[in-house]
Structure 1
Amino acid sequence: MKGKIVKWNDSKGYGFISALNSELRVFVHISSFRSVSQRPKLNDQVTFEVTKDKQGRINATDVRFDGIDKLPVTVLFGTTFLVFVCASVVVLNGQWIFVPLYFSLSLFTYLMYAWDKQAAQTGGWRTSENVLHMLSLIGGWPGALLAQNQLRHKSQKQPFKSILWVTIFLNIGLFSLTFSISGHELILYLLGNMR
């Protein structure tokens, strides 16, 4: 069935879809969306299935945005950077150590976001925002951007988002310095001392 979102409460994660020339109004929860690549907003055109809950109310399930679901710019940005890190080893004579470092830090940061979201929902021990920012600063920011998009955690809160972007640009700046002669020599020196 086709319809459009006519009411959406993003903080609570639910709203209503209007279908059949506004004759049908269907409840929809964020968990019913197939794609996690974008948040619903008013007037989004969607395709969905209809089911009834235990109380007999009509709910939307298997909701998809009409058209092609696009990767959000933030996830595309993080993915492009990881590809650049891999390519830099071959093309720019970069250090191979950055490839597993960025990927492992991104995975670890993603898992920390997932753990923090679960703790927020269950009232458990939370991860400090400073820890999440430090993980992003040292190279886990692609995982942070993916977690914000997929898990919808820390994706709306300010000033958290602004500080995250500061850590991202600082990390990219530091990574760029490794291509300078002095930065390259410093990395070789540090790798030599680790042996």
Structure 2
Amino acid sequence: MTRSGELVQWNNKGGYGFVRDQAGNDFYVHISKLVDGQLRPRIGDQLTFSIATGRNGRPAAINVAVSQAAPLPNRTMRDIKRSPSSLSSYKVGLRTAAATVMTLLILLAIATERVPVWFGGSYALMGAASALLYRFDKLYALSGRWRVSETNLHVVDFCFGIIGGLAAQEVYRHKTVKPRFVAATWTIALVHVIGLAALALGWVSIALP
């Protein structure tokens, strides 16, 4: 028998939550039980589902489909960019400082003809790509859709996209809290700062045509 109810709890990272039927009963729901083609549900969505016995012997929801999506919060990218008063401006500004230092090192290396112009272009191109990925991931997180994987973000940042990645983290206030992600980001940034400093100061060189 098909039932209907409201999603009252949802762990987006784990992909599970609870749906409450019209009688007030809560049923466990896992993302694997969603009907094919359904986007990840959000708290407040109206769901249709059937009942089956779960792994722990308790009733659980299966054949889950979103019958009516909850209204999206009235938020814009301007809201995302607005820093809350509780956010440390020092921590946020550190990303801008690092991106600025790397940009200046690239310009110095090009001006002193220690690297070709295309080298700076690579940072600009990949930086733009990284910034777009962070923007999309932020929007996907707000809408409850599938996210850009952290591995992909790190790979693009490492492959010359770190300047754009740091700028996007600050502008969108995104991926700035999770310790492991932050540590990996700063490790990538440190590698690039050291490498760019070595090029700009002539410690190492790139063979120019």
The answer, yes or no, to whether TM exceeds 0.5 is yes
Answer yes or no: is the 8 Å Cα contact 1:109–1:140 preserved in 2: yes
For residue 176 of structure 1, report the CA deviation from its aligned partner.
Answer: 4.4
TM-score (norm: length of structure 1): 0.56
Highest Rg: 1 or 2?
2
Number of residues of Structure 1 aligned to a counterpart in Structure 2: 133
Matched residue, 1:165 = 186
> Which residue in the other structure is 1:40 paired with?
85
Q: 2:100 aligns with which of 49, 56, 79?
A: 79
Q: Could you tell me whether the CA contact under 8 Å between 2:105 and 2:197 is conserved in 1?
A: no
Q: Which runs of 5+ in 1 are unaligned?
A: 1-29, 45-70
> How much has 1:165 moved relative to structure 2?
0.5
**1:156 — aligned with what?**
177
Counterpart mapping for 1:1-195 below 5 A: 36=81, 38-41=83-86, 72-91=93-112, 93-176=114-197, 178=199, 184=205, 187-188=206-207
The AA in structure 2 aligned to 1:154 is K
Per-residue CA deviations over 1:37-72 (Å, capped at 9, x if unaligned) read: 754129x9xxxxxxxxxxxxxxxxxxxxxxxxxx81
C-alpha deviation, 1:150, in angstroms: 1.0
Residues 38 and 154 from structure 1, CA distance in 2 versus in 1: closer, same or farther, beyond 3 angstroms? same
Q: Structure 2: how far apart are the matches of 1:120 and 1:35?
A: 12
User: Given residue 40 of structure 1, which amino acid in structure 2 is its aligned partner?
Assistant: S
Contact 2:134 2:174 survives alignment (8 Å): yes
CA distance in 2, matches of 1:166, 1:93: 25
Aligned Cα root-mean-square deviation (Å): 3.3
Aligned to 2:64: none
Unaligned runs of 5+ residues in structure 2 are: 1-74
Secondary structure of the residue that 2:179 maps to in structure 1?
A: coil
| Structure 1 position 82, deviation (Å) | 0.9
SS at match of 1:72: helix
How far off its partner does 1:83 sit? 2.5
Q: List 4+ stretches of structure 1 deviating above 2 A.
A: 33-39, 91-95, 171-184
- Over 3 Å counting, the alpha-carbon distance change for 1:181 and 1:77 in structure 2 is closer
- TM (norm. structure 2) is 0.52
Contact in 2 for aligned 1:109/1:135 (Cα 8 Å): yes
